[in-house]
Structure 1
Amino acid sequence: MTLLRTLRSKGWILAIVVFIFLYLFTSFRHTSPSPSKTHDTTSSEPPQVPPIDRRFRRINKSRQAQLTSALAHIRTGYVANRTPDYDTPPLLVLYRCTDDAAQCGSFQDRLLSIASAYFFAMFWDGAAFACHMRSPVRFDWYFESLPSYMSMNTDQANFYLERADPASILTVPTMQREAFAKDNFVDTYRSQNVRIVQSSHWEDWSNMQKNPSMQKQRDKYQLGRLATQSEWFWIVSQLLFSNPTSWLAKQLEPHRDLMGGYIHASESLSPYDPGKEVAPHIRHWLRVGVRATSGSDECMVSHAINVCDQAVAWNKECHIFLSAPSSDELKRLQSLVNRYEAKKTYRVIVHTVSQDYEFYDLHESLETRTSNALSFIESKEARVKQAYARTFMDWLILTRMDYLIGEEQDMYIKTAAWAAQVHTDLSSVTHDDCRISAMKDW
């Protein structure tokens, strides 16, 4: 009897132990993490990509959609690159600079004239456009239109010019902005049998927004929806000034990361195209472009360092790209950055185009001097092409920055800001007092 009681008591104990074990095992299965959520050090999943920083971009998503829509309408509705052997346009519009480089103006002057001439051609149904620039360099040595059919090249322009009746070519010293607002150029040129119109100076295109005779084409390309001068320039820059030639791209290769991880612009209009955004490995940078000509170097560098302070607070590396029209000015900027950086606990990474590239703007003549960097170049074309490359390189790099700083009177930085559409601060010097304020010329 005693043995039976002992077995019964042990059985109850054993049953309780088994029950507890089953309970704990079931609870463990429900609470343990699933295999997909456990940390696997051998996983091949890529690291998390930092989000794109849009805090200094001027164009929000809705405005970007409007600009992209206008760009799409132009690319599908305007064909500026004619095939000379088979097609003759009713009018060929030329930005012309073939003789005296000084009369055509600086690099930024030419960008503005080319933009005006391009809109003039666009507002004439069936007209073609070409940048007929050979002095001091050819424009198509540095920039290719995107897509390629959006502009003729110099050789195509020459094809028409050589075969045209001289009486049908109209050369105008300056295409004035007042005429853009009211003149019916289509009727006038047709009555005069004008087939080619060319000028070295095309003034501000903004008055073309008011011309009744241009309304049909404005509506066709949705340009009437663009409110600011900079948005119109952005359109042209995307078509004509954003894509370097293969030769210029080779010169820019050392600056690929600074330019966002890519050099050639993407032809896609999709806002989700990765080729239009800063590459993932660059997104922890804040890229500040500084362009100085004279007078307010220290003021601008001090401001750039203040921007770097913000970048460090956001856990970003600060990269400053320096641009200047002369070797002495560039060296002065570099020394100022180094002096300010010495007082900081973080590092500022400074970038410049190599001083192997000379400092010539397009209105300056190429001096017959020997350059150590270029002495090996034998052909005149190669010599000239490389001598003027810095002007194009600096500007194109500035258009890829996240933040820009420049001088109030400098259209070089302003056109770069229009193309970049990023926050831009400008300095003005009054009685040795430097003031920095946000750019208003949009």
Structure 2
Amino acid sequence: MNEPLRNLIAAVAAVAEGWPDVAVEGAAGSSLVALNDALGRVRRLTDGLHAQVAAEIARQSRPELGPDGLAKTQGYRNPTALIAATTGSTNGEAARLVQVGEATAPRLLLSGERAPARHPHVACAVDAGRIGAPAAAAIIGMLDRVVLRAGREATEAAERTLVEQAPGLSADQLAKLIARAEAWLDPDGVEPREDELRSQRYLHIREERNGMTSLSAMLDPEHAAPVRAALEALVSADLRAPRVAEAPGSEPSRPSIPKLQADALARLCAHALGCDHTDLPLEGATVVVRVTLDDLAQGTGSATIDGMTQPVSIGTVRRMAAGGSVIPCVLGGKSEILDWGRRKRLFTKAQKFALIERDGGCAACGAPPGMTRVHHIRWWLRDSGTTDLSNGVLLCDSCHHRVHDNGYEIRIDGTGVDADVWLIPPPWVDSTRTPRRGARKRFDFVPA
């Protein structure tokens, strides 16, 4: 009987002996902790023994044996499929067992002599039940990645240290330790890994059919650090704040951590939009909520938010207004001039607000106002176009190129924010050149 099997039998016997006489639910805390520790050791020892079995199954199922391999004679495509099916695990977990078994089993040289395991320190820890297969696989995977660059001596020293520190660490804690060990072994590889992570960052924003907005993001450490720090600071402040009952006589409640994080993100963005002292390019990035004065005063009807599909209730509008997120748009107020003629080439902020009110976003595709810029319909240089509302239109970059490069024309009928915007296609797109409605009125729902 080999040493790992003897260790496992002894551990199982210890668990049986230490099992509480009473039901688990009524056992003393100290007994439960001791029993949990013993069961953890049994599990780790089982993992070690199972890894040896998995490696031997893989050896007897190697491809060169063809249909005579063990896995195929049992009706499985490969050894991982056999192990996964017979243990009820996944192919990934089965492959991990094979990886650990092959890395910790003594090697058989071509001369017939037996050599130590490829990772002897991990092998000793697994056999003794100090670490399990998941921890062993994580350590082995990292060491195999860097051994060519770091050298055998350095990786062996790192293996010894990791095996000593791994017992008692959770999988997440061990992953942090392994990442720092990898940076020590291969410092030149840190920057390329960062570049790869940076190239994979993303943030998807999608509006759901029920009106909720879904955010899905992956951030590299550089971009994630300020996001996490800011959100955690706000959430921590919320957790420290005294709880207030929602109704008289009810118990004070507090939202869950995910809800607090969502609230913190919204507060950060609202602060950035309302801050006058920022170097962020947030020019024109204003939340515009459209509601009639009568509906707002009487609490009837609904409202719309630029860039959002679903209408919102008057209650939501009032909360946003109370928080300062809604800014009344008084066109031409404070003596601001909305028509500059030829005195200015660039449209002013007040003019863009007026055009946002008229166009609602990109006049062609409906993209949110924050993704648009004001463009001259009659070009400033070529056509001596004026910087007036009647000569301005909101377009995203894509539609701007389509209008100017593909021969589309834009016509404005009327004046002010109630004017109609029409896009006229070139004859090779539509021989009749029938105008197509653009801007806000293309999407507004006005019942007859």
Note whether the superposition's TM-score is higher than 0.5: no
| Normalised TM-score (structure 1) | 0.21
TM-score (norm 2): 0.20
Query: Of the two, which has the highest radius of gyration?
Result: 2
Point out the structure with the larger helix share.
2
